[in-house]
Amino acid sequence: MRCNVTYLKRNHQFLKTRLVKNLIFDLGGVIIDLDVEKTKEAFALMSGKSVSEVQDILANSTAFIQYEKGLIEDQEFRNSVRYLLHTDATDSEIDLAWNAMLGSIPGKRIELLMELRKDYRLFLLSNTNNIHLVCFNEIVKSACGSSSLNPYFDRAYFSHIVNMRKPDAEIYNLVLSDNQLLAHETLFLDDNESNLIAASQLGIQTFHVRQPDMIFSLFHE
């Protein structure tokens, strides 16, 4: 079943006073519900390690950043997980644990995007990877029948495809230059404060999404 568009009353005062014409959305924790702890717990169960041990491994390994930047392929990433966690888990078990952090997309968020496209240029900017993208597209299909989120944005940027990731300045500059956007006319919504700080240093306006439904506070009366 496809998403039904309902009229969403919006209060544009926040955006009008800031001359906003373009909106850049993060994906996890903004459009899709995200719970990273579920992946840590799944990895802990898989490896027999504690969640804190898994946290340390994730924080100190370069494999996860390399994977987000598309510098290693799916199988190399899975092999890295096996090596780091000292596990003989299968590919499907690793994928399942890795995707455990991905939640749902309430239909009202899709409806909001559809309404916003009438008044703004919309872009998606996500640090992600191929295993997550495959899973995420299935979640989108289940939520509203679309094979991806692409129809709801002017353009989508995924870190593993462009070989750049937030908070590096180059990925923000790519979005701006590709689409001839002026930084001061652009609002970036993200749940990660370090990503917002980096964007603001380039003159991009920012909004910290501490939980996904905060995005409605910008547009609803």
Which two tokens mark 173?
């500059």
Which two tokens mark 175?
């979005």
Q: Is the pLDDT of residue 72 over 50?
A: yes
Query: Do you find a cis peptide bond into 106, omega within 30 degrees of 0?
Result: no
Q: Is the pLDDT of residue 96 over 70?
A: yes
> Using 50, 70 and 90 to split pLDDT, how confident is the model at 19?
confident
- Span 161-197, pLDDT tens digits: 999 999 999 999 999 999 999 999 999 999 999 999 9
Angle at the Cα of 74 from the Cα atoms of 147 and 177, rounded to 5 degrees: 65
Q: What are the angstrom distances between the C-alpha of 200 and each of 5, 65, 119, 127, 186?
A: 33, 22, 23, 18, 10
Q: Is the pLDDT of residue 154 over 50?
A: yes
Amino acid (1-letter code) at residue 184: H
Which domains, ranges and CATH numbers included, belong to the chain?
Answer: 13-34+104-218 (3.40.50.1000), 36-101 (1.10.150.240)
CA dihedral 121, 204, 174, 102 (to 10 degrees): -70
Q: Is the pLDDT of residue 54 over 90?
A: yes
What per-residue confidence (pLDDT) applies to 5?
Answer: 34
